[in-house]
Chains A and B, each alone.
Chain A
Amino acid sequence: MKITPLMKLGAQGALTISLVLSLASCGGGDDADTKTITVNGSDTMLQVGLAWSEAYQEKHPDVLITVNGEGTGTGVTAMINGTTDFAQASRSFKEKEINDIVAARGVAPVEHIVGFDGIAVYVHPDNPVKSLSLPQLKEIWAEGGTIDNWSQVGGPDLQIERFGRSNSSGTYGFFQSAVCGKGVEFKPGTGAQPGSTAVVELCMTVPAGIGYSGMGYKNDEVGWLAVSKTDGGQAFEPGNETVGSGDYPIARKLYIYTLGEPTGVVKEYMDWIKGPEGQKILADEDFVPLSN
Chain B
Amino acid sequence: MIRKSQAKLGAFLDKAEKPIQWLITLCGWSSIIFVAAIFIFILKESWPAPLTLNWGEFFFSHRWIPVPAEGNEPTYGAMGIMYGTLAITVVSMFIAVPLGLGSAVYISEFATPKLKETLKVLIEFLAAIPSIIWGFIGLVIMGPIIQKVFGVAVGVNLLNASIVVGLMAVPLIVSISEDALRAVPDSYREASLALGASKWEMIYRVLFPAAKNGLLAACMLGVGRAVGETMAVWMASGGTDNIPENFFDPMLLLERVKALTATIAGEMPEAVNGGEHYQVLFIVGIVLLTISVVINVVSDLIIKGFKADKA
Contacts and interface: CB of A to CB of B under 8 A. Distances in A.
B269 A202 contact: no
Given A4-B231, A73-B270, A205 B155 contact: yes
A188 interface: yes
27 contacts: A1-B264, A1-B285, A43-B269, A77-B273, A159-B153, A166-B270, A167-B64, A167-B266, A167-B267, A169-B266, A169-B270, A181-B69, A182-B69, A185-B69, A185-B72, A188-B242, A189-B240, A189-B242, A191-B238, A191-B240, A193-B239, A202-B143, A205-B143, A205-B147, A206-B153, A206-B154, A208-B153
B268 A5 contact: yes
A76 B67 CA distance: 17
Contacts of B139: 198, 201-202
Given A76-B272, A190-B240, A167 B234 contact: no
Contact of A185 (B65, B263, B273): B65
A73 B236 CA distance: 28
Interface string A149-190: 000000000110100001111101100110011111100111
Interface string A19-55: 0000000000000000000000001000000000000
Given A176-B69, A198-B235, 13 more contacts: A1-B265, A1-B268, A2-B230, A5-B265, A76-B272, A167-B65, A168-B277, A172-B67, A185-B72, A194-B235, A194-B262, A194-B265, A202-B139
A197 B242 CA distance: 23
Nearest to B157: A191
A139 interface: no
Interface in A57-88: 70-74, 76-77
A74 B231 CA distance: 22
A167 B131 contact: no
A125 interface: no
Residue of A176, A194, A208 most packed against chain B (CB within 10 A): A194
B256 A191 contact: yes
A182 B65 contact: no
Given A183-B70, A194-B234, A170 B270 contact: yes
A185 B269 contact: no
Of all A-B residue pairs in the complex, the 6 with the closest CB atoms, nearest first, are A166-B266, A168-B270, A192-B239, A183-B71, A191-B239, A1-B264
A3 B67 contact: no
A152 to B, nearest CB: 16
A180 B230 contact: no
A207 interface: yes
A5 B269 contact: yes
A8 interface: yes
B265 A183 contact: no
A4 B132 CA distance: 10
A5 B63 CA distance: 25
Contacts of B161: none
Interface in B243-260: 256, 258
B266 A4 contact: yes
Contacts of B258: 191-192
A172 B63 CA distance: 16
Contacts of A2: 230
Contacts of A193: 235, 239
B113 interface: no
Contacts of A74: 269, 273
Q: Which of B154, B230, B231, B263 has the most CB of A within 10 A?
A: B154
B224 interface: no
A71 B144 CA distance: 32
Contacts of A189: 240, 242, 256
Interface string A87-99: 0000000000000
Interface string B98-138: 00000000000000000000000000000000011001000
A154 to B, nearest CB: 19
A70 to B, nearest CB: 5
Contacts of B147: 205-206
Contacts of A198: 139, 235
B71 A3 contact: no
Contact of B131 (A3, A73, A172, A183): A3
A74 B274 CA distance: 11
Contacts of B285: 1
Interface in A232-271: none
A191 B65 CA distance: 13
Contacts of B20: none
A118 interface: no
B269 A8 contact: yes
Contacts of A5: 265, 268-269
A134 B244 CA distance: 31
Contacts of B277: 168
